Structure 1
């Protein structure tokens, strides 16, 4: 008996780890030449350092992701400040402020006024509680009205960065669980966590090493092209460039931990999300002569700027632009130069002109990365197309951040989906007298 896990992104890695942990025999396949999916790093020759394909912000409330890191021994790959803080700058007014949640379990807007967004009062925050009553068809702006100071300074940038979808289109039901799991739970659950040596060093390489140490076969560059069926069960896996079909026995199971767009051909009768939004990232490598003084433990939101958040790791400054389809046709050099002005302002960077006068530091070396299908468009219509772990084939299951996890398309959602699929497979195998699910899996 074996479980074939197709896809070595975070969902697939999680499924493979949890099943292996339970003593189930696993084989892992990945179409790309490297594991990690949209959570990976690479060495950029032009910058002379490792960069992430896209910067991902975790929060200390992401329980299952932290459990994943604990299992593979990589928790120390994340930097974690002693307290929570989110920094903001309005690049038009030059005003700066920080959100510092209360150390209790009370939302920051209920406690002292100095913890709120400047210029806002307690009553301004009350409409967010109505998100708890949102129906499937409701959008964020049905509850949080544009035009208010709080909307411009908090809800709009928060929604776009979390859901990768404009608030007027974004599902209100998708935003609410994020607020209740982080900002609504107090300081302990919203400390920012960043991968100090890159996403691969934290999430991918330790997981692969953990699996290999337990003799799990990992086949990279192996794309699944088709499913052979017998009745309603899958009986074989047809991989590209393979000279034979990998058989799926009566006792075997298959977990498809693949993006929804890659499943269209494999599961033609299953409705799947088919709209995706772009995330663009711009990485700048600053010269050593201009050390960055901004505290990289805390991300900064850049208001009045196409970039949503800025992350600093030593001399590497990274910008993330969510819902970035509007930038698809802008040349990389023009985009990097345009965004650098606000970035230098946020970092308070200046250079010395020959005559000794202070001028803005010229745009340093950069790398622009556009993830065309970063996430599904998290609109009410697309959210209705999310699937649970079961499929029309009783021996095939689904995992992925796009599945119905109760969370948006995030790292935490991907990990939870992998755990859910693994737990369901274990439950079925246990019912057949083969293997029982250990306590704690899929919580």
Structure 2
């Protein structure tokens, strides 16, 4: 599955969003790119699988309207019509006790667009609302690129700026934990300030939420592979790269493959052992980035229990809940029960509960998670108390993101390395964004830009090609 474009061959190690983006950007520039992915699919941390006739995403992934690079990738894939974006940021926030709040932006320029929402937010007292406005304005004055901010947590900063426990739980934790995949007291101040400034305090429509309307395996997998190959590039699945050597060349499934440039677009844990030591002498430090887990709890009910696309929750192990009924391919309501028997008469609903910073739950047995989360969903959704659960399962991403804690910013490497033909990509590299889909796409664009600069400044070795093995 190799392409026929000239101008140099670029080997991309890793078929996640960073690798996909780099391949497409390089092809746009007339370069020939081949993606080598060890797994039998593209998509990296965003993928799908089949379960009893349903298509299941490994986790719920969203983007915001401020994620311009990711939306650019969708356009490159001719898939902009396969997502749905809110007309206006609007989130209902539930509590187990029955109280609820709503955060809905006004049609006003930022940051004024969220002031009416805060003023009416029922889950905060009037005093906490005022203090939240003051903290927001102070946060907006910080410079996220200031190295000093990388040494402190957003939790400590909020405490110093009058944010009491209820405001932390009902407002700040709601968004920062979901964005950075770490709790407030563990989240570095720099990236937290960036998230708040970019999504909540910047352009008025920046936080409008976008969700895929097709499975991730289709959006980031089959569609991406077809687009790369249609553009003359190559996709090799089940192709494990075990070494990168000068030449440059790769060892793929034990066979040598030559290239003119190499982009390593795998997680930092894999990159640290794959990248040559002379390319990144400090690669051992990447282990300090650590990892933070996400758990997704999947529940299928025999009837609808939620009448909104998604909601948030506070004061509960439940954080965000998404209606996955239509996207799973069973929008007709025909679900297979726990014994695998289809029930055409049932009109059910499939919900996914996304739990970020899930250290507490990552090793918890499924039976215990079932007991905890079904009870919590009944507390949040009265209709669930009358519903029958026809399926329950859990997906776990132990290394969903790196741990974006104080000190992590200094460990994120640039895309360029000391070897002129070798480049890094991945949301863990220094993109200026947190470890998100947007960060992954930006890293791929960064790497592609540097590859183009390198190959334009040297004579590509047109004699080298892609190994047929």
Scaled to the shorter chain, the TM-score interval is 0.7 to 0.9
Conservation of the 8 A alpha-carbon contact between 2:37 and 2:238: yes
* Pairing of 1:174-253 with structure 2 (within 5 A): 174-229=191-246, 234-240=247-253, 242=254, 244-248=255-259, 252-253=260-261
Q: Structure 2: which 5+ runs fail to align?
A: 1-7, 326-348, 461-469
| 1:9-20 correspondence runs (5 A) | 9-20=16-27
Partners of 1:336 and 1:366 within 8 A in 2: yes
Q: Which residue of 2 aligns with 1:384?
A: 410
User: Which deviates further from its counterpart, 408-417 or 322-331?
Assistant: 322-331
Q: Secondary structure at the match of 2:30?
A: coil
1:330 equivalent in alignment to 2:330: no
Cα offset for 1:187? Answer: 4.1
Partner of 1:439 in structure 2?
Answer: none
Deviation at 1:433, TM superposition (A): 7.0
**Is 1:168 paired with 2:185?**
yes
Q: How does 1:405-416 map to 2 (within 5 A)?
A: 405-416=431-442
Q: Flag the 1:114–1:186 CA change in 2: closer, same or farther, 3 A.
A: farther
Judging changes above 3 Å, is the alpha-carbon distance between structure 1 residues 65 and 117 closer, same or farther for their aligned structure 2 residues? Answer: farther
Q: In the aligned structure 2, how far is the partner of 1:178 from the partner of 1:94?
A: 29
Q: Which residue of 2 aligns with 1:70?
A: 75
Distance 2:195 2:398 in 1: 24
Q: Is the Cα contact below 8 Å between 2:301 and 2:388 reproduced in 1? A: no
Give 1:293 shift: 4.5
1:286 equivalent in structure 2: 301
Pairwise mapping of residues 69-108 of structure 1 onto structure 2 (< 5 A)? Answer: 69-91=74-96, 93-107=97-111, 108=113
Shift of 1:186: 4.7
Query: What SS is found at the alignment partner of 1:202?
Result: helix
> 1:264 aligned to 2:272?
yes
The one of 274, 295, 312 equivalent to 2:308 is 295
In the superposition, relative to structure 1, how do residues 394 and 245 fare at CA in structure 2: closer, same or farther (>3 Å)? Answer: same
User: Does the aligned pair in 1 maintain the 2:15–2:36 contact within 8 Å?
Assistant: yes
Distance 2:449 2:248 in 1: 22
TM normalised by structure 1 equals 0.87
TM-score using structure 2 length: 0.83
Q: State the secondary structure of the residue aligned to 2:408.
A: helix
Measure, in 2, the Cα distance between the counterparts of 1:171 and 1:130.
16
The reply to whether residue 114 of structure 1 matches residue 120 of structure 2 is yes
Please report how far the alpha carbon of residue 106 of structure 1 lies from its aligned counterpart in structure 2 after TM superposition: 2.0
Q: Distance in 2 between matches of 1:148 and 1:208?
A: 47
Task: Give CA deviations for 1:180-234 in whole Å, capped at 9, x if unaligned.
Answer: 22111254221111112221222332211111112311101111111223xxxx5
Aligned partners of 2:27 and 2:232 also within 8 Å: no
State the secondary structure of the residue aligned to 2:411. Answer: coil
The within-5 A match list for 1:339-378 is: 339-350=373-384, 359-378=385-404
Partner of 1:150, secondary structure, is helix
Q: SS where residue 190 of structure 1 aligns?
A: coil
Q: What is residue 337 of structure 2 aligned with on the other side?
A: none
Q: Is the 8 A contact 1:159 1:175 kept in 2?
A: yes
Task: Structure 1: state its 5+ residue gaps.
Answer: 351-358, 435-443
Aligned to 2:350: 316
Residue 400 (structure 1) shift: 0.3
1:20 aligned counterpart, secondary structure: helix
Maintained 8 Å contact 2:14/2:35: yes
| 372-381 or 105-114, larger mean C-alpha shift | 105-114
2:400 alignment partner, SS class: strand
Kept after mapping to 2: 8 A contact 1:100/1:187: no
Q: Give the corresponding residue for 1:254.
A: 262
Q: Distance in 1 between matches of 2:45 and 2:400?
A: 7
| Larger CA deviation: 146-155 vs 157-166 | 146-155
Moved over 6 A (4+): none
